[in-house]
Structure 1
């Protein structure tokens, strides 16, 4: 997506040179450095919430009176300017005073962000449209207050996100979309024609998610093929709860619209936090019940079935247990608000995905994992893979990779602890073998099931190293020879078939076999040695000891 905002005034000059022009009369730098900072445009700050009017390379001019109305800590304010790529902040004083809040100076010095003070009027071609820009900001502030009042009335009447989306779409003449933080739709409103345009636009990916995998979570004002979208974060108490988007194919959107959407998003955050407060109490009871069920202490069959019905779950049928666990990754440092814990986000995603596929399934966020207790269908694994695909989407938008383990089916409630253990084994071993985004069924593990039961992990690694010898090294040659050995064992030492699968000449493969037997022993003639080698290769695949 491309930023559609038009620069207030275009420049391309080093900040230190601007200090010697009529744009910043009697200017002085009070924080940061000015020598290596390039200014590409001039912007103006007439309202405290300046977010929609910020641009990269911008010299932002404001007054001490406006700065005094900034409600967020100066540390957060300066950090936001720096993160958005603003070149510098210039504070305009009318008289001789030049006192800037020490907290602002300290915040700017901490991140090396330039702050300039100057005196008198700006006499420069770059400020020709200052009145128009500041007037737009003030008009937006009053427009946002009117919209906020309408939305608060909806909230006070116990309205939810769908009702808020209806008001936003009507008042702002576009299609309104509320999503999770990774772009999954919660609700939408507006003309059907606008919604169809949005659904087929580059603003959403092939799975129907709003694109939140670009810079700053896709936030801001964007344009593509003459169509516009304004996206704001729905956040409260420093937690990122989702996105509010306004789409228009009929009219161009401006920073004015983005400002209104950002204010409307704060009201949406009120509704989400209200709903979460109610849901958290219920979720605690559900999680405790499922936890007891997985440990085998939830009670007898009739008690479990009747108690599950109070939560809307159907346990009076054959069941399977599915365990979903986030794969370990290094979380990038971001200026975005903190998000809900990844397990909670994934539990919500799977809950939404399974809602119309198995209404009696239980989806619960436990410590470190999401657990699903669901009914057995005609093709349970196909359903689980479908759920994983829906939740994963295209894998962007900050979506954390996860692995999935699926148990065998069982008809008795008493078997659920065993099913859970199977699901955990399938998840753990499947991830070791295939990496992230893996969906593994317990019955597909084969001999890996037995290997996973060996408690002495060092003994497994020692066995693999002693059996495969130099083939456990990290070199490309060792990996290539392991691959040859694996195919040989899979074809029961059929040289011709192995050569065909590996695209080798027959004589080339014969040479490799001789080389392998010199390293490992006469495995072509000894079935017991072939078994040892096969097990050792599986240990390497499962434990990754060659990495």
Structure 2
């Protein structure tokens, strides 16, 4: 079957242009049933939305008023029940304020014998609160108004559902024809006339489409970190204005399948105009995106199994002769016949699991995110693919291994750029990880050794610098030897025997260890050490005497000095 992703764009579907299905007060006054009605105050609220209509039959209507409700009445309920005279101005002002506070859409009063002119204070209150107030001709029946309003609301809601359903079927067809995320966002962007993107839960953008102006306006928003990640923690489900003072409107729908959060689909229109219909259709599109993502993950899982099994054999040195490895890698669309480093990334065991979703982004009902190891693998694959699509990247159960092509002089810069892109700004639920980097190798036969170097670098880097450490095997120094000692108790015992009380964690021990390390760094040059530590010469001589009283004559005994230097390195290493 041909893959639509590699062919022409699917034929455009005959879908209605996006529009709102709600009825505004402005549109309401143009209905035939309200012909001749006259707006007398509150013109600033003509865009208020009308979702229901009711008749005021009693004076104390406020407890039963609902949001977005059009209220119509005669003058009779506005009169004093005892005197039969109209309410005074303060009472009518209080009525207008109460209706506005409860979110009513507008008030229509029928002209007739029960009501004289409405007081100026009531009109002023309507203008002040942007609450539309209009007069209805006496010959118009309330039943006609209610019937026509309900008919328009039902018709528009039915139309909105039809738009969402037809778009859902169109997108489903794209997926069934072999299309993928690029074709889906292209179709949705054309329908909404907006910029549309799909991203992972941590904000890595998978596909985007739309007009050039909208895409440029979206990129200019304060929603992307330097690595290109969409800051999902700054968005929430539903319609929302563009952040800051930027013009435009954003619609966000979560992509969920089988209780698993696969990310977001986001629409942005620099000119606004995204309404409830857009939101409804976008939620339908999100279900199709979930279908496409699930299909993609299923195919990827099968491919990754074969790729992972083969690369594991290569890393263990059991895949066969180098020529055979190069040939088989070429069949997998990998190029390993060049200079490269092996990079091993391992999640930190105490990464915070509560950061699965960004702050401010909530979904109801709650869902779980993809496994952190899967997301780390996806992140490395996406970042590496942008730089070199022929570089192998495979995720195993506890680590991600990358064979990255580099020159001997650029290895460090290339690796740091990759890690910075994968790490991002730690937003969107990204877990911290440690990275180990091997020496640069020029032969496939050296891959097993380079893999072993990278794994050692991860272990030593985490011990030295904790979570998020980056360690190059070339820069490990003596720590490479110390990492080979599997018995951490033996290392602790060695450090305690050599350093004595200096091996402790109290403030005095830490302070004296700093002085001891500075002396070793300057080859026990007292004057230079005093300058580095900003000590008086006599103060440092006093400290040297105190140190020699604890560890022995390290300033004159080179063997003891070596033992002390190694013991300090052991204490420096964490996680032993």
User: Which of the five TM-score ranges fits, normalised by the shorter chain?
Assistant: 0.7 to 0.9
Residue aligning to 2:298 = 277
- Any stretches of 5+ residues in structure 2 without a counterpart? 1-46, 51-61, 69-98, 107-148, 357-362
Cα distance in 2 for partners of 1:255, 1:500 equals 70
Structure 2 counterparts to residues 323-402 of structure 1, below 5 A: 323-328=344-349, 329-332=351-354, 336-378=366-408, 379-402=410-433
Cα distance in 1 for partners of 2:237, 2:345 equals 29
Mapped pair 1:295 → 2:326: no
Moved more, 483-492 or 277-286: 483-492
SS in 1 for 2:256: strand
Moved more, 518-527 or 169-178: 518-527
1:313 to 322, 328, 334: 334
Residue aligning to 2:8 = none
SS in 1 for 2:232: coil
Moved more, 425-434 or 348-357: 348-357
Residue aligning to 1:145 = 165
Given that 1:199 and 1:208 are in contact with CA atoms closer than 8 Å, whether structure 2 keeps it comes out as no
CA deviation string 1:61-81 (max 9, x = no partner): xxxxxxxxxxxxxxxxxxxxx
Residue aligning to 2:75 = none
Cα distance in 1 for partners of 2:535, 2:225 equals 42
Mapped pair 1:240 → 2:216: no
How far the C-alpha of 1:238 sits from its partner, in A, is 1.7
Cα distance in 1 for partners of 2:236, 2:507 equals 40
Structure 2 counterparts to residues 2-17 of structure 1, below 5 A: none
Residue aligning to 1:50 = none
Given that 1:425 and 1:442 are in contact with CA atoms closer than 8 Å, whether structure 2 keeps it comes out as yes
Number of paired residues?
432
Given that 1:198 and 1:204 are in contact with CA atoms closer than 8 Å, whether structure 2 keeps it comes out as no
Cα distance in 2 for partners of 1:218, 1:469 equals 57
Normalised to the residue count of structure 2, the TM-score between the two structures is 0.69
SS in 2 for 1:304: helix
Mapped pair 1:481 → 2:512: yes
Q: 1:286 and 1:494, CA in 2 relative to 1: closer, same or farther beyond 3 A? A: same
How far the C-alpha of 1:395 sits from its partner, in A, is 1.8
Moved more, 402-411 or 453-462: 402-411
CA deviation string 1:331-363 (max 9, x = no partner): 118765322222222222222212243333110
Cα distance in 1 for partners of 2:519, 2:535 equals 12
Residue aligning to 2:556 = 525
CA deviation string 1:18-46 (max 9, x = no partner): xxx9459xxxxxxxxxxxxxxxxx889xx
SS in 2 for 1:405: strand
Q: 1:152 and 1:380, CA in 2 relative to 1: closer, same or farther beyond 3 A? A: same
Residue aligning to 2:452 = 421
CA deviation string 1:408-452 (max 9, x = no partner): 233443332222111100011011111222221111111011111
Normalised to the residue count of structure 1, the TM-score between the two structures is 0.72
Residue aligning to 1:95 = none
Given that 1:227 and 1:250 are in contact with CA atoms closer than 8 Å, whether structure 2 keeps it comes out as yes
Higher-Rg member (1/2): 2
Residue aligning to 2:471 = 440
Q: 1:213 and 1:333, CA in 2 relative to 1: closer, same or farther beyond 3 A? A: closer
2:503 to 454, 472, 477: 472
1:126 to 102, 105, 108: 102
How far the C-alpha of 1:330 sits from its partner, in A, is 3.2
Residue aligning to 2:271 = 250
Residue aligning to 1:163 = 183
Residue aligning to 2:109 = none
2:544 to 509, 513, 531: 513
Cα distance in 2 for partners of 1:480, 1:247 equals 56
Q: 1:507 and 1:289, CA in 2 relative to 1: closer, same or farther beyond 3 A? A: same
Cα distance in 1 for partners of 2:526, 2:336 equals 52
Given that 1:523 and 1:529 are in contact with CA atoms closer than 8 Å, whether structure 2 keeps it comes out as yes
How far the C-alpha of 1:473 sits from its partner, in A, is 2.4
Residue aligning to 2:359 = none
Q: 1:306 and 1:7, CA in 2 relative to 1: closer, same or farther beyond 3 A? A: farther
Q: 1:309 and 1:508, CA in 2 relative to 1: closer, same or farther beyond 3 A? A: same
Q: 1:227 and 1:124, CA in 2 relative to 1: closer, same or farther beyond 3 A? A: closer
Q: 1:480 and 1:473, CA in 2 relative to 1: closer, same or farther beyond 3 A? A: same
Given that 2:437 and 2:453 are in contact with CA atoms closer than 8 Å, whether structure 1 keeps it comes out as yes
